[in-house]
C-alpha cells in the first residue's frame, strides 16, 4: 500500500534503521553529541535565532507557543481545523481571542489582519498556519507578518509550519515562532515537535509560562545540548538522520522537487477534469474537491493500493488530499494520478486513456524533454 496521506508520511529506511539501534540514556555525552548535531542542522532548516525540540506532537508546540508568547489577546486565523485549534488553546488558557474566520479554501489577507489589529489594540500575538492542512491552503503568512509588525513591532507572530517546514523556503524575518512536527514533512513517526524562535520572542518569553511546556526552561537546557525532561531520544536520533539526508540532497533541491511534484500532480488531475480545492494551494498536499471523493478514495485504496486522506467536518466525503511532503519517487506519484484516472473510468466518468500519467510526466520531466529537443 502506498501511504500518500499528508501526515503521517512514510519513514525512509535509513531513518528506521537509525532508530533501531539500542536505547541510549539521555544524560550521556554520547546523546548530547547527537543532540548538538541535530540542533546545528535544525538551525539551517529553520534559520531562526533559537530552536527547541519538545517531546510532544505538533499541538504541544502550538500550545507552548500560545502560552509563552501571548499574554493578553490572541488573534488567530480560522480557515480550517488547525487554525480553529489555536483558538481552542487560547480559550483553554483563559486568554482573550479575536478570530478571522474563512471558508477552508480561502486564504487570509494582510488587509484583514491589519483592520483586526486596529480594531483590537490588546492583541499581542497572531497565530496562523503557513499551510492549513484541513483544505491544503497556503496563507500569505510572510506578508501578513510584515504588515502586522509595521503596525506594532512587539506583536508576536506564531506561524504553524507543521506542513510547511521542509516543504518550501520560509522567510522568517517577521516570524517569531515557527512550528514543525515530526510526522509530516520531517518523515518521522509522531511524537516530536520543534519550535524556531526569534530573539524578540526569547525576550518576551522571559521566565516562561507553565511547567512542562515552559520554553524558558527548555531554552536554558537545550543551549547546553540537553532537555529539561527526558528527551524523545529515538525520535531525535531519527531526526538527525532525516536532517543529514536533507543536507546531502540539499534544501533548495528538496523545495524545488516538492514544488515540481505538487504542480505536476495538480495539472495531471485537472487534465482529467478534477478541480483543485484551495484558492491558493499549499505545496505540502494536493487537495481535490469532488462529489464522488469517497468513492474515488475507496477504489484507489481497495483496488489500486493507494491511501490518500479524506476531509474532516463539513468537508468529510467532499475532498481528498494527496501528500507531497518528504522524499517521494516520481514513479509513486505517477501511479497515484494514474490510479485516480482509473477510478474515474470505473465510475463511468471518462474513458481511460492515460492522460493523467502522461501529463504528470510531461510536467515533472519537462526539463529533460527540453534538453533532448
Ligand X SMILES: *Cc1c(COP(=O)(O)O)cnc(C)c1O
The stretch near ligand X (CB under 6 A) out of 159-167, 265-273, 311-319, 357-365 is 159-167
Distance spanning both ends of the chain, measured CA to CA? 37
Query: 165 or 343, CB closer to ligand X?
Result: 165
The residue from 5, 133, 222, 357 that contacts ligand X (CB under 6 A) is 133
Are the C-beta atoms of 97 and 227 separated by less than 8 Å? no
3-state secondary structure of 321: strand
Q: Which H or E run includes 320?
A: strand 319-323
Nearer Cβ to ligand X, position 63 or 341? 63
Burial 287-319 (b: 16+ CB within 10 A, else e): bbbbebbbebbebbbeebebebbbbeeebeebb
Query: Is position 63 an interface residue for ligand X (rule: CB under 6 A)?
Result: no
Q: How far is the CB of 234 from ligand X (least distance, A)?
A: 17
C-beta of 6: minimal distance to ligand X in Å?
7
- Closest approach, Cβ 202 to ligand X, in A, equals 23
312 closest CA partner among 1, 6, 2: 6
State how far the Cα of 281 lies from the Cα of 303, in Å rounded to an integer: 28
Which of 2, 5, 7, 219 is in the footprint of ligand X by CB under 6 A?
7
Residue closer to ligand X (CB basis): 175 or 356: 175
Min CB(325)–ligand X separation in Å: 10
What's the residue count for the chain? Answer: 373
Q: Is 174 in the site for ligand X (CB under 6 A)?
A: no
Residue 46 is placed in which grid cell? 529553520
Confirm or reject binding of residue 5 to ligand X (CB under 6 A). Answer: no
Residues 12-51, one symbol each (x = binds ligand X by CB under 6 A, - = not), give: ----------------------------------------
Instruction: Report, in angstroms and rounded to the nearest whole number, the Rg of the chain calculated over CA atoms.
Output: 21
Question: Cα separation of 17 and 219, whole Å?
Answer: 30
In whole angstroms, give the CA distance from residue 366 to residue 282. Answer: 22
CB 128 to ligand X: min, Å: 10
The answer to whether 201 contacts ligand X (rule: CB under 6 A) is: no
Interface residue with ligand X, options 67, 68, 102, 163 (CB under 6 A): 163
Residues 82-121 that bind ligand X (CB under 6 A): 82
Rounded Cα gap, residues 240 and 352, in angstroms: 44
Residues that bind ligand X (CB under 6 A): 7, 57-59, 82, 129, 133, 160, 162-163, 181, 184, 190
Amino acid at each position: 500500500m502506498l501511504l500518500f496521506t499528508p501526515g503521517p508520511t512514510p519513514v525512509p529506511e535509513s531513518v528506521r534503521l537509525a532508530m533501531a539501534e539500542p536505547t541510549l540514556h539521555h544524560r550521556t555525552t554520547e546523546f548530547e553529541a547527537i543532540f548538538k548535531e541535530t540542533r546545528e542542522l535544525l538551525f539551517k532548516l529553520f534559520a531562526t535565532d533559537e530552536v527547541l525540540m519538545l517531546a510532544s506532537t505538533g499541538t504541544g508546540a502550538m500550545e507552548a507557543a500560545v502560552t509563552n508568547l501571548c499574554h493578553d489577546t490572541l488573534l488567530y486565523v480560522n480557515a480550517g481545523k488547525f487554525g480553529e485549534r489555536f483558538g481552542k488553546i487560547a480559550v483553554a488558557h483563559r486568554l482573550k481571542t479575536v478570530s478571522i474566520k474563512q471558508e477552508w479554501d480561502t486564504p487570509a489577507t494582510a488587509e484583514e489582519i491589519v483592520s483586526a489589529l486596529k480594531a483590537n489594540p490588546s492583541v499581542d500575538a497572531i497565530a496562523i498556519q503557513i499551510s492549513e492542512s484541513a483544505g491544503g491552503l497556503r496563507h500569505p503568512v510572510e506578508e501578513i507578518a510584515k504588515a502586522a509588525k509595521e503596525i506594532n513591532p512587539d506583536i508576536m507572530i506564531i506561524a504553524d509550519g507543521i506542513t510547511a517546514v521542509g516543504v518550501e523556503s520560509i522567510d522568517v524575518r517577521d516570524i517569531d515562532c515557527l512550528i514543525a512536527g515530526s510526522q509530516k514533512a520531517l518523515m518521522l513517526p509522531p511524537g516530536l515537535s520543534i519550535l524556531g524562535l526569534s530573539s524578540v520572542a526569547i525576550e518576551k518569553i522571559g521566565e516562561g509560562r507553565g511547567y512542562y511546556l515552559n520554553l524558558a526552561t527548555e531554552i536554558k537546557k537545550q543551549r547546553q545540548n540537553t532537555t529539561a525532561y527526558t528527551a524523545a531520544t529515538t525520535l531525535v536520533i531519527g531526526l538527525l538522520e532525516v536532517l543529514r539526508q536533507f543536507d546531502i540532497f540539499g534544501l533548495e533541491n528538496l523545495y524545488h522537487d516538492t514544488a515540481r511534484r505538487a504542480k505536476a500532480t495538480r495539472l495531471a488531475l485537472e487534465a482529467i477534469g478534477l478541480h483543485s480545492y484551495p484558492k491558493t494551494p499549499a505545496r505540502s498536499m494536493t487537495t481535490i474537491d469532488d462529489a464522488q471523493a469517497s468513492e474515488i478514495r475507496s477504489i484507489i485504496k481497495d483496488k489500486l493500493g493507494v491511501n490518500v486522506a479524506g476531509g474532516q467536518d463539513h468537508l468529510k466525503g467532499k475532498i481528498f488530499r494527496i501528500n507531497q511532503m518528504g522524499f517521494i519517487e516520481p514513479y509513486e506519484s505517477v501511479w497515484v494520478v494514474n490510479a485516480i484516472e482509473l477510478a474515474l473510468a470505473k465510475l463511468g466518468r471518462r474513458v481511460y486513456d492515460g492522460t493523467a500519467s502522461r501529463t504528470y510526466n510531461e510536467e515533472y520531466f519537462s526539463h529533460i524533454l527540453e534538453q533532448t529537443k
